[in-house]
Structure 1
Amino acid sequence: MAAPDWLERYRAGDRDRVWHELRQCGARLEETEQAVAAAVCDEMARRARSNVETVVARLRSEGYRFHTNDDEREPVEPFRPASEEAPALLGWLEERFGPVPLTVASWLRLVGDVWFVGTHPTWPDAAAADPLVVELEGLRWPGASMREFFAGESEAQAEGSDGEVFVLPVAPDALHKANVSGGPAYGFRLPDGSVDALFVGEVATPFVDHLNAVFAGGGFLGHGDAQPPWELRRRLTEGLLPL
């Protein structure tokens, strides 16, 4: 069977159609298709990492201060690149919960942990704008075990449910990001052998669509008043790579 041309078309700009075809495949991929799909997801992750690094630099130049989502507002490093331990964590996730979507696997191996919660000097609503957070490795807590954390979350979610679907928590919800008591954490549904993950936030959205929406907002998902002012958004988003 000839290898599909998804990667070439993705790089050429036919991204929407490629993602549509990959999502239509579900978990039914032949070995050759699996390899090409994984290459597309790796390319997506590299582009996403470039966007993250660009937005971090631009926010800092604007005087944005990255900090914890609590009253202390301790400084936080907004981007921690994936460590050498990321592949081992991916293997553990697959053993513990079953198949992991390829977009999540690529993000874990090639991007890292992202925390955009913070304060802007002239935009008071930044905390309410649902800034991008994806923390899979837990690199902010070097002494903590994400395996123990995820296992504990799985057990807690299984209580009172059928336990067949687990939402792997990777971010506080929009209210918690703004230091307000909110709802369940955002995360990925597992097990899931699909190419693109289902990101469960305020609504369930394909992960790549979620990321594109966030980068279109300069690193923030908020809508209406809860998004960067137009001039700031233009400066943050100029030249970012579509995924």
Structure 2
Amino acid sequence: MTSSPGWLSRYQRGQRQRVWLELRQVGSTLRGTGLGEEAQLVCDEMARRARQNIEVLVERLTEDGYRFHSNDDGQVPMLPHAPPTAGAAEYVQRLEDRFGAVPMTLSAWARIVGDVWFVGTHPSMPGLAGADPLVIELEGSLHEVPRWFVDVVDEEWDDWQERQAEDPDDEPFVLPVAPDHYHKNNTSGGGAYGFILPDGCVDGVFSWETDLPFVSYLNWVFSDGGFPRPPGDKDWWQLRRRLTKDLLPL
């Protein structure tokens, strides 16, 4: 590509699916080029739209009497959203220094959206607790990240590098950013959700129940108002319509 494909303007005009398709096709070849800068602008615009969705959902859930709390018996009140700190860009750089290239969508999320924690209890819909509420914790602004957790992640990375040297087809390394849907509901479960790293592509791969492009995962989550495992409560669809009204597609 020698001329600008106009990704940002096309994305803003509504050609989002086509733009993401093109950006995923080019993979990591844009790094360090002018087109890489344009691709990052698309990711940043996506993150601004995602942040607006999150702020709208927090407001609507709060109006409903939803209690955001920790995923344990104590149910300690939690902030549902912490904007990026002044050190967010530096944090992304530390990730790259430790784990190699990170996707542009991860960088945009860390710098523009921040940390999100939708775990909680709805006053009239108990099934929502098990509906896999949105959680993305990169900086650790909502929870104080314990030293042992950082050490465990570092050890897992070192172990993965050793296995990778012996078997390049080994399972990829996943940077954990959220508990799985069982742990969100204070139940013993499986491995954490997270980003597959290293990854120099524009849109990263988010590993949860399956592996999806991060933006595809977010669109799925927002299409269900922040709860991608709809509960069986009879009033769910009415609540879903209210939560998702006028949310922005990414």
Moved more, 74-83 or 227-236: 227-236
Mapped contact 1:129–1:227 kept (Cα < 8 A): no
Partner of 2:106: 104
The partner residue of 1:119 within 121, 130, 133 is 121
Uncovered stretches (5+) of structure 2, i.e. residues with no partner: 166-171
Partner of 1:24: 25
Quick one: distance in 2 between partners of 1:131 and 1:228? Answer: 17
Mapped contact 2:230–2:236 kept (Cα < 8 A): no
- Residue type at the aligned position of 2:5: P
Partner of 2:52: 50
Give the 5 Å matches for 1:194-209: 194-209=201-216
- Residue type at the aligned position of 2:247: L
Over 3 Å counting, the alpha-carbon distance change for 1:12 and 1:77 in structure 2 is same
Cα deviation per residue 1:214-241 (whole Å; 9 max; x = unaligned)?
A: 1110111104638970110000000000
Mapped contact 1:154–1:166 kept (Cα < 8 A): no
Mapped contact 1:198–1:207 kept (Cα < 8 A): yes
Quick one: distance in 2 between partners of 1:88 and 1:206? Answer: 24
1:215 aligns with 2:222: yes
Mapped contact 1:217–1:228 kept (Cα < 8 A): no
Query: CA RMSD, aligned part only?
Result: 2.0
Uncovered stretches (5+) of structure 1, i.e. residues with no partner: none
For normalisation by structure 2, the TM-score amounts to 0.91
Cα deviation per residue 1:188-233 (whole Å; 9 max; x = unaligned)?
A: 0110001001000011111001000111101111046389701100
For normalisation by structure 1, the TM-score amounts to 0.93
Moved more, 224-233 or 123-132: 224-233
Name the % identity.
52
- Secondary structure (helix, strand or coil) at the match of 1:189 reads strand
Over 3 Å counting, the alpha-carbon distance change for 1:200 and 1:238 in structure 2 is same
* Stretches of 4+ aligned residues off by more than 6 angstroms: none
Aligned length in residues:
241
Mapped contact 2:130–2:231 kept (Cα < 8 A): no
Quick one: distance in 2 between partners of 1:151 and 1:14? Answer: 42
- Residue type at the aligned position of 1:20: L
The partner residue of 1:186 within 183, 193, 198 is 193
Mapped contact 1:217–1:227 kept (Cα < 8 A): no
Cα deviation per residue 1:22-65 (whole Å; 9 max; x = unaligned)?
A: 00111112612101100000000000000000000000001100
Partner of 1:239: 246
